[in-house]
Structure 1
C-alpha cells in the first residue's frame, strides 16, 4: 500500500508498505534525488510491491513522474529520474516532429498511459494519426480499451540503463499490434557533462528472417568540446521516418497528407542545440 506524507512546510514524499517490508524516504533503504524541473523529491527504489493499478496511476499523477515508473503485476519499478536533460531531449524531438506537420495531422499523445494485462508503461512522447479508427479490443489502455496505440513512440534514457531502454522498445512498444515505430535515445554521462548521445530508430517492418527487430538507423555522437562548442553539424545525424509508417492503420481510402515531408526527418543537431543548457550537470 502506498501512503502519502506531507504538509505545507515539507516537500511531499511517499511511503510504500507491503506485508514484508516498508520503504520510506526517511530510511537508509531508499535514496532521494531532487528533480531540477520541480521541487519534488522522490525516493529511488528498484521494486515496490503490492501496489494496485489505481494506486499506481494516482501516485504517478501526484508526483508527475510519467515515463519514469513502470507497473508490472503489482510491482512498481522506478527506472528513470525526472531530471532536466531527460525531459528536454524528449520535448525537443516532439517539437521537431510537430514543426513538420503544419496541418496537425499527427496528434501528440505526450506521455499517455498504456496498459497491457499486468503491465503498464508511459512513453516519454508519442504520436497517433488524427482520427485513427478505434480497435475492437486490446487498445492502449487495456484489454477492453478501444483506443488505438500510437504509431510513433519516443523513449529517452538518462538514469535508465541502455538494456532496459531497448528491451522496453522491442518487447513492449513494438510488440505485435502496438506501436509501429520507435525512437530510442540514451544520454551518456561522463563526469559532469552529458558527453555522448546514442540513438536508435526501430520500425516493425524491419526485422531479421527470424523475426527479430533490427534498427532502421543507429548512431552515436559526442556533444560538446571543452569550449562548449557543438561537435556535430546540421544534417550529420538524422532519423528518417516514412510517412506510411506514421499513418499506418488508417482506412484504405485515407490519403497521406502532402503537407508532411516524406520521409519526415529528425535532425539531432537541433535536439542537441535545444539541450545545450542541460548538458552540464552540477
Structure 2
C-alpha cells in the first residue's frame, strides 16, 4: 500500500538531508533499507504474460482466480487510455491494475488484509480533523484516477484539504508488489510537482505459521520516502526510515517492538498536509497526525 503526501505549491526552503536515527529495535537504517529495495527490484523485474483464462479479467471484466506468484501479470499490450478507464471502472479493478503506454498490468490481487489495513489507516488519518472548522477539514475522495501522459494509476483513497485552491490528492493509497512500489516511487510519485512524501505499508506474504499463542508470524513493514530528505542517486530515491510493525523481521526472526498500542507510530506533520494552502502557517491542525501501526497490525491479523 502507498500513501502519498502530495504538495500543491513549491518554492519553499527546505533543510538539507539528515538521516533519522532511531532505535534498531524499531527501525532499519536507510542504507540497509535501500539495499533491500534494490535487490528486490533486480530479482523481480519480470512481467508475466496472461494466459487465456487470466485474460478474462480484462476481456470479460470478471475476476478469475490468479496465482499471486504470477504477478506482475500483463493482461494486454494494446489498450487505449479511454478503454482502460472505462473497463477498470466497470470491473472495479483500477487499484489492482496499472496502465502504462497501452500495457495493462495486474500489480496486486483483491485481498482482505490489504483492505483492512487501508481502512484502519484512513480512520486514524481522518480522526484528528473531526473537531476542526469545515474549511480546515480534508475531503476523502475514493477511486480517483491520476493520469499523467500515457500512464494512469488509481488509489484506494485520496485525502485533499478543502482549502487547497487546486486540489491535489493527499495522500494516495494503493496496493502492489514491492518491485512496483519502488519503481513508482522513483519514476512517478516523487517526480516534480507530484508527491512530497511517500509512505509505504508492505504486507509481506504469510506462510501460515503462528506462535504458540496463536499470533501470526508475519512481516509487516512501513517505509518512508521524502522528496526533501531522501538521497537521490542514479539508482533512485532512498527511503529515510523503515519501521517493522509485524512479528518477524527480514530474517524471519521473532520481534516484539509492535506488541502494544503506542510502540510503533508514524507521525505526519500539519506542514506536509497543508502544503500549498493559502493562509498557512499557522496550521489549523496544531499537532501531528499520529498513525498507530499496532492498530493496523491487529486489523490485518484479524483477517488471517
Same fold (TM over 0.5): yes
Structure-2 separation of matches of 1:79 and 1:22: 12
Counterpart in the other structure of 1:46: 74
Structure-2 separation of matches of 1:118 and 1:31: 22
Indicate the larger mover: 61-70 or 164-173.
164-173
Structure-2 separation of matches of 1:269 and 1:22: 37
SS in 1 for 2:228: strand
Structure-2 separation of matches of 1:230 and 1:210: 31
Which runs of structure 2 are paired with 1:60-209 in the superposition (5 Å)? Answer: 60-102=88-130, 103=132, 105-134=137-166, 148-156=167-175, 160-192=176-208, 195-208=218-231
CA RMSD of aligned residues (A): 2.9
From the superposition, tell whether residues 222 and 237 of structure 1 become closer, same or farther in structure 2 (CA, over 3 Å): same
Structure-2 separation of matches of 1:249 and 1:164: 29
Structure-2 separation of matches of 1:185 and 1:71: 22
From the superposition, tell whether residues 131 and 171 of structure 1 become closer, same or farther in structure 2 (CA, over 3 Å): same
Q: Deviation at 1:82? A: 1.3
Which of 260, 274, 279 lines up with 2:299 in the alignment?
274
Counterpart in the other structure of 1:220: 244
Q: Which runs of 5+ in 2 are unaligned?
A: 1-48, 67-72, 209-215, 249-255
Structure-2 separation of matches of 1:241 and 1:268: 13
Q: Which runs of 5+ in 1 are unaligned?
A: 1-20, 34-39, 135-147
**TM-score normalised by the chain length of structure 2:** 0.66
Structure-2 separation of matches of 1:87 and 1:266: 16
Structure-2 separation of matches of 1:126 and 1:197: 23
Of structures 1 and 2, the one with the larger relative CO (CA 8 A, separation 6+) is: 2
SS in 2 for 1:98: helix
Structure-2 separation of matches of 1:111 and 1:166: 22
Q: How many residues align?
A: 227
The structure with the greater share of residues assigned to helix is 2
Deviations for 1:152-204, whole angstroms, at most 9, x for unmatched residues?
23334xxx321211221232122110122222111112313671101112222
Structure-2 separation of matches of 1:221 and 1:93: 14
From the superposition, tell whether residues 112 and 98 of structure 1 become closer, same or farther in structure 2 (CA, over 3 Å): same
